[in-house]
């Protein structure tokens, strides 16, 4: 199965294609984010309520609806989970060695490692994949469904490896308890059960789910922009900061490329939509959750906010490049 890049991106020089992707895929996302950013400069927003609305309503409903409408196969689901778990472990191993070699302080090492492992698969990821595959509703839906599985896996990684990394082994029970409270877990289970038993929901309910799901992208991007607007930037610890940013935006996709090529070589995966979506998602910026963990465990929250802010800005270039290269690589 092949993806549908914006039509004009398939012609012209590589540089023209790159700018076409940036204008058609990345710029609309940043424009909506900028609205959220600017709003915080005029009025005070309750980001806690916005985040909860995303976390408990829009993202779970979006996931539930997407998995009911577009049905990735069991092999796609399992390979998406395995890929993201292995990528997180490889990222951890690389950062474990790098932060010790560069003599990061323990708190900076933890914040930096988490910032490389955890990328923004939901607020940023879903709009990118939607626009990347714009033009073919079925392929677009399949790609989004793959990204939905990535979101679920990323949340599990965040509240297991992330909790252990930031809080230590004494916090593992808290991490498991948090996972059991994640609404996306139950949205995923409910959707898979309904699919498994071939249950069709009433049309009025599906319509209301669709309306809610349709609002997810705009609310998610506005919230992300508002979060970036309130977090600000300090540029403390510049050496550690730029090492972390480089690892997230450059080393992350390189590790993903190697892992995907290995899967293809071992006949665990074929070149196509799944590999493209997984490769592009590996280039996403650091997730806002890293800031929340920094605050929760008192481990460099200002540093984490800088990483989120700068990786999000620079991702306009790196994600465009990943989208340009994905059809060539896979």
**pLDDT tens digits, one per residue of 177-207:** 777 887 888 988 898 899 888 888 999 999 9
Nearest to 76 by CA among 251, 319, 276: 276
pLDDT of 220 reads 79
Mean pLDDT of 46-71: 83
* Rounded alpha-carbon distances, angstroms, from residue 316 to 28, 52, 310: 11, 27, 10
pLDDT of 11 reads 55
In our burial notation (b when 16+ CB lie closer than 10 A, e otherwise), range 214-251 reads: eebbebbbbbbbbbbbebeeeeebeebbebbbebbbeb
Q: How confident is the model at residue 279 (pLDDT cuts 50, 70, 90)?
A: very high
Q: How confident is the model at residue 163 (pLDDT cuts 50, 70, 90)?
A: confident
pLDDT of 315 reads 93
Question: Residue 47 pLDDT > 80, yes or no?
Answer: no
Share the mean pLDDT of the chain: 86
Global pTM value = 0.86
Q: How many angstroms from the chain centroid is the CA of residue 66?
A: 16
Determine the straight-line distance between the first and last CA of the chain, rounded to whole angstroms. Answer: 11
Mean pLDDT of 37-58: 83
Angular region, 232: left φ>0, alpha ψ -120 to 50, beta rest:
left
pLDDT of 162 reads 84
The CB-side HSE value for 146 (13 A sphere, CA atoms) comes to: 27
pLDDT of 117 reads 96
Question: Residue 272 pLDDT > 70, yes or no?
Answer: yes
Burial (0-12, 13-18, 19+ Cβ within 10 Å), 95:
buried
Question: Residue 148 pLDDT > 90, yes or no?
Answer: no
Question: Residue 67 pLDDT > 90, yes or no?
Answer: no
Q: Do residues 92 and 287 lie in contact, with contact meaning Cβ atoms separated by under 8 Å? A: no
Question: Residue 6 pLDDT > 70, yes or no?
Answer: no
The CB-side HSE value for 306 (13 A sphere, CA atoms) comes to: 20
Per-residue pLDDT of 225-250, as tens digits, reads 887 887 667 888 999 999 999 999 99
pLDDT of 170 reads 67
Question: Residue 2 pLDDT > 60, yes or no?
Answer: no
C-alpha–C-alpha distance, residues 273 and 329, integer Å: 11
In our burial notation (b when 16+ CB lie closer than 10 A, e otherwise), range 193-203 reads: eeeeeeeeeee
C-alpha–C-alpha distance, residues 269 and 249, integer Å: 24
Burial (0-12, 13-18, 19+ Cβ within 10 Å), 85:
middle
Tokens encoding 19: 């700018």
More confident residue, 134 or 43: 43
DSSP 100-167: HHTT--HHHHHHHHHHHH-B-TTTTHHHHHHHHTTT-HHHHHHHHHHHHHHHHHHHHHIIIIIHHHHH
Per-residue pLDDT of 16-46, as tens digits, reads 878 888 888 888 888 988 998 898 888 887 8
Lowest mean pLDDT segment, chosen from 53-67, 82-96, 130-144, 234-248 = 130-144
Mean pLDDT of 144-170: 85
| List of domains in the chain | 7-329 (1.20.1530.20)
pLDDT of 226 reads 84
Per-residue pLDDT of 85-128, as tens digits, reads 999 999 999 999 999 999 999 999 999 999 999 999 888 888 89
pLDDT of 310 reads 93
Question: Residue 252 pLDDT > 90, yes or no?
Answer: yes
Percentage of the chain beyond pLDDT 90 is 42
């Amino acid at each position: 199965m092949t993806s549908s890049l914006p039509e004009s991106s398939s012609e012209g020089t590589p540089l023209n294609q790159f700018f076409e992707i940036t204008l058609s895929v990345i710029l609309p996302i940043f424009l909506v984010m900028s609205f959220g950013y600017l709003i915080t400069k005029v009025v005070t927003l309750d980001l806690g309520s916005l985040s909860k609305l995303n976390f408990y309503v829009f993202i779970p409903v979006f996931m539930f609806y997407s998995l009911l409408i577009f049905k990735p196969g069991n092999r796609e689901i399992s390979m998406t989970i395995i890929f993201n778990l292995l990528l997180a472990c490889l990222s951890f191993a690389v950062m474990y060695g790098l932060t010790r070699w560069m003599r990061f302080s323990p708190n900076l090492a933890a914040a930096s490692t988490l910032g490389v492992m955890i990328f923004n698969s939901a607020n940023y990821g879903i709009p990118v994949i939607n626009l990347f595959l714009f033009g073919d509703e079925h392929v677009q839906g399949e790609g989004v469904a793959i990204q939905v599985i990535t979101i679920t896996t990323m949340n599990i990684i965040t509240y297991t490896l992330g909790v252990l990394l930031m809080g230590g082994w004494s916090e593992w029970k808290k991490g498991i308890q948090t996972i059991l409270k994640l609404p996306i877990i139950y949205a995923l289970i409910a959707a898979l059960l309904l699919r498994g038993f071939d249950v069709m929901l009433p049309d009025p309910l599906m319509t209301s789910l669709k309306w809610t799901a349709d609002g997810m992208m705009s609310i998610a991007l506005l919230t992300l922009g508002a979060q970036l607007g309130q977090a600000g930037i300090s540029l403390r610890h510049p050496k550690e900061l730029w090492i972390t940013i480089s690892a997230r935006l450059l080393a992350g996709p390189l590790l993903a490329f190697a892992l995907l090529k290995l899967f293809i070589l071992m006949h665990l995966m074929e070149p196509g939509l799944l590999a493209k979506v997984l490769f592009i998602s590996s280039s996403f910026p650091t997730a806002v959750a890293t800031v929340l963990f920094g605050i929760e465990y008192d481990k460099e929250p200002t540093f984490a906010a800088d990483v989120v802010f700068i990786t999000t800005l620079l991702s306009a270039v790196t994600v465009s490049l990943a989208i340009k290269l994905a059809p060539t690589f896979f």
